[in-house]
Amino acid sequence: MLTKLAVSNYALISNLEVGFHSGLNSVTGETGAGKSIILGALGLILGNRADLLVLKNRNEKCVVEGFFEVASYNLQPFFTENDLDYDTLTILRREITPSGKSRAFINDTPVNLKTLRELGLKLIDIHSQHQNLELGNRQFQLNLVDTVAGTGKILSDYRQLYKHFVSSRKTMDALIEKSAKERADLDYWQFQYNQLDEAGLQENEQEELEAELEQLTHSEEIKSAFAEVQKLFDDERFSVIQQLKESHKKLESIQNYIAEVTSINERLQSCLLELKDILDETEQLAETVDHDPARVELVNDRLNVIYSLQQKHHANSVRELIELKNSFGERISQVTGYEDEILSMKADLAKQKAKLENKTQELSAARKKSFSKIEKAVLDDLRQLGMPKSKLEVIHESLPDFTPNGKDAVSFLFSANVDIPPAEISKIASGGEMSRLMLAIKNLLRTSMALPTIVFDEIDSGVSGEIALKMGNILKAFSTTTQIINITHLPQVAAKGDSHFLVYKYEEKGKTFSSIRQLSENERVEELAKMVGGENLTDTTLKTAKELMKN
């Protein structure tokens, strides 16, 4: 619960500290006294936006602090998840600097506004006239049903299944789309693959063919060169080999006289043998070289096929063409493999859908059981609030497809009069009826969940007299389990408070300020008397105020 609110330099507030109590806290004050300013300050620690206009003194920062007793809220997981120090007395603080910078803190640890808002909404609920409009919102109505029905665990399980189902369906749809697109390209890929496959490419054949073509196109030149070499080596008129033989004989005849000649002659013999080998090899090579126009044409044709494929596919080598052929083959195999994968995914999706359908039916059954409880509890409170002829019907509709909230759509139909059939709340309920209806719903919620501190901003708008007394009684009963801060203009409602606070304006050094303070017992009687009969207190109004406090 909210134990203390401290505000400085906000709108008309210079400095104030106010301590709230458990139970029902009544807040009253003249119109324009600053009750909305107090709400605005509370809104800051709930993460609402703020600008420099909130600064009363533009040279000083604005600070709003809320002190909350959180022991009964089971918030330790939130603090652990957000790496925050947990304390049963938790302080939410918001600062707005003169430069316009906003800072947020939880227990003196800086946090972003999202974290501040998330925690703030777990601790305090500001109910205003605007919130009454939520009564006509289908999502609000479904959330109310889930709260009363206690479907938290079922809904959580359902949403996990739904999230997995949606993800799987999205993956399958993407695969089907990809398969269709690639199947459209299949003929193209198949044609390219077939053309490359039919070419029968070998990795090194281009280099080998180009070398062979060079040899074939220069065959006459090659044979002529070999012939010249052979002539020089072993010509009848002048033979290098014959000359070497003669030289060998000459040296052999004198080797007995000079020792070194033997070594020279051996070297000469080696040269002679090497030249004979060279002569033999040139003769053999010459025999392999023929001028073969048919082979030239065949090699040219093969190279033209390779060059054409390289140009078509922007490839630099046969290896690249072979790799391209393999990639086309992989794509073809992949496309044909999609069908099996899609069939498998469809089967898995069908199983997921069956589980989801079962959980949907479980969720729907739990929700439907709560309808009569909601109708009865709300109508019981409305009868106390002077609407005995009211009718409330919770209508259920099954949706054709799964949604994040199941396959249920609910709508609340309402009528405050016996002769008017129930219709959508937003189209039929007046402001006063909306206020009483929302109070009845909030009162119902407290029996189904631990509500945070609730701030009611003139929820009694549009009611008076005996109905106001009954509304006060409901608020009083409500406050036995939930701390309520109730801003009201009705003395019948204000008198039900366990404590009473007055919002007021005052002037100091020519400036106007707004503040709030708790009233003593006597001050409270006087304030209620003024609310009953105006500023001029009389015995009658004072007596009425005391009577209201007793009831």
- What's the DSSP call for residue 31? T
Residue 532: other Cβ atoms inside 10 A: 21
Q: Is it the case that residue 387 has pLDDT exceeding 90?
A: no
In the chain, the amino acid numbered 412 is F
Is residue 450 situated within a structural domain? Answer: no
Q: CB of 95 within 8 A of CB of 102?
A: yes
CB 303 within 8 A of CB 209: yes
pLDDT band at 112; cut points 50, 70, 90: very high
- Together in a domain, 196 and 112: no
Q: Is the pLDDT of residue 292 over 90?
A: no
As to burial, measured by CB atoms within 10 angstroms (0-12 exposed, 13-18 middle, 19+ buried), residue 455 is buried
Do 104 and 239 fall within a single domain? no
Residue 212 sits in the same domain as residue 112: no
Q: Does residue 451 lie within any of the structural domains?
A: no
pLDDT mean over 540-551: 88
* 529 inside domain: no
Higher pLDDT: 139 or 361? It is 361
- The CA angle 57-61-62, to the nearest 5 degrees, is 85
pLDDT band at 384 (very low <50, low <70, confident <90, very high): confident
Residues 306 and 219 in one domain: yes
Does residue 143 lie in a domain region? no
Kindly calculate the radius of gyration of the chain based on its CA atoms and give it in whole angstroms: 49
Residues 230 and 111 in one domain: no
In a shared domain, residues 124 and 219? no
Do the domain assignments include residue 406? no
For residues 346 and 335, what is the distance between their CA atoms, to the nearest angstrom? 17
| Domain identity same for 101 and 3 | yes
Instruction: Tell which of 333, 350, 384 closes a domain.
Output: 333
| pLDDT score at 218 | 78
Judged by DSSP in three states, 401 sits in strand
Share of the chain above pLDDT 90, in %: 35
Domain boundary among 310, 333, 356: 333
Tens of pLDDT, residues 235-262: 767 778 777 787 888 888 888 888 888 8
Is residue 195's pLDDT more than 80? yes
**Across 117-121, average pLDDT:** 90
Residues 6+ apart with CB under 8 A from 289: 215, 219, 222, 223, 226
Residues 176/339, Cβ–Cβ less than 8 Å: no
End-of-domain residue from the set 311, 333, 355: 333
Helix (H) or strand (E) segment spanning residue 322:
helix 318-384
Tokens (6 digits) for 297: 């044409």
CA distance 287 to 435: 114
Instruction: Answer yes or no: is 191 within a domain.
Output: yes
- Hunting for tokens 């009750």 — which residue is that? 35
Beta strands 499-508 and 511-518, pairing class:
antiparallel
> What distance in Å separates the CA atoms of residue 218 and residue 210, rounded to the nearest whole number?
12
CA distances to 55, 386, 468, 477, 485 from 433, rounded to whole Å, are 38, 10, 12, 20, 21
Average pLDDT over residues 50-64: 84
pLDDT at 275: 83
Do 204 and 124 have their domain in common?
no
434 domain residue, yes or no: no
Residue 132 pLDDT grade (very low, low, confident, very high; cuts 50, 70, 90): low
Three-state secondary-structure class, residue 306: helix
Q: How many CB atoms lie within 10 A of CB 104?
A: 22
pLDDT digits (tens, 9 = 90+) for 311-354: 888 888 888 888 888 888 787 776 666 677 788 889 999 999 99
95, 213: one domain? no
155 vs 332, residue with greater confidence: 155
Q: In which band, very low, low, confident or very high, does the pLDDT at 543 lie, cut at 50, 70 and 90?
A: very high
> What was the pLDDT predicted at 493?
92
One domain for residues 115 and 10: yes
pLDDT in tens, 7-40: 998 888 889 999 999 999 999 988 888 888 888 8
- What Å distances lie between residue 113 and 91, 174, 315, 443, CA to CA? 15, 37, 58, 30
Per residue in 414-464, pLDDT tens?
Answer: 998 888 898 888 787 777 788 788 888 888 887 776 677 888 888 777 777
> How many domains would you assign to the chain?
2
**Which tokens belong to 510?**
């020519």
The DSSP element (H or E) to which 424 belongs, if any, is strand 423-424
Residue 364, token pair as written in the block: 């729907």
> What pLDDT score was predicted for residue 327?
87
Which pLDDT belongs to residue 530?
A: 92
Token duo for residue 146: 């889930």
- Residue 129 reports pLDDT greater than 90: no
Q: Residue 454, CB half-sphere, CA atoms under 13 Å: how many? A: 25
Backbone angles phi, psi at 345, to 5 degrees: -65, -35
- CATH number of the structural domain spanning residue 494: 3.40.50.300
Give the whole-angstrom CA distance, residue 319 versus residue 321: 5
Mean pLDDT of the chain: 86
pLDDT surpasses 90 at 379: yes
Contact by Cβ (8 Å): 470, 385 = yes
Say if residue 112 is in the same domain as residue 201: no
> In the prediction, which pLDDT does 128 show?
64
E strands, 362-494, in order = 391-403, 406-415, 423-424, 453-457, 484-487
- Assign 95 a pLDDT band (cuts: 50, 70, 90): very high
The answer to whether residues 191 and 329 belong to one domain is yes
Asked whether residue 71 is assigned to any structural domain, the reply reads: yes
Instruction: Identify the domain containing residue 301 by its residue range.
Output: 187-333
108: pLDDT confidence band, cut at 50, 70 and 90? very high
CB–CB of 408/143 below 8 Å?
A: no
Residue 421 CA to residue 425 CA, distance in Å, equals 12
Which among 447, 458, 446, 438 is positioned nearest to 385, based on CA atoms? 438
Residue with tokens 């509890």: 377
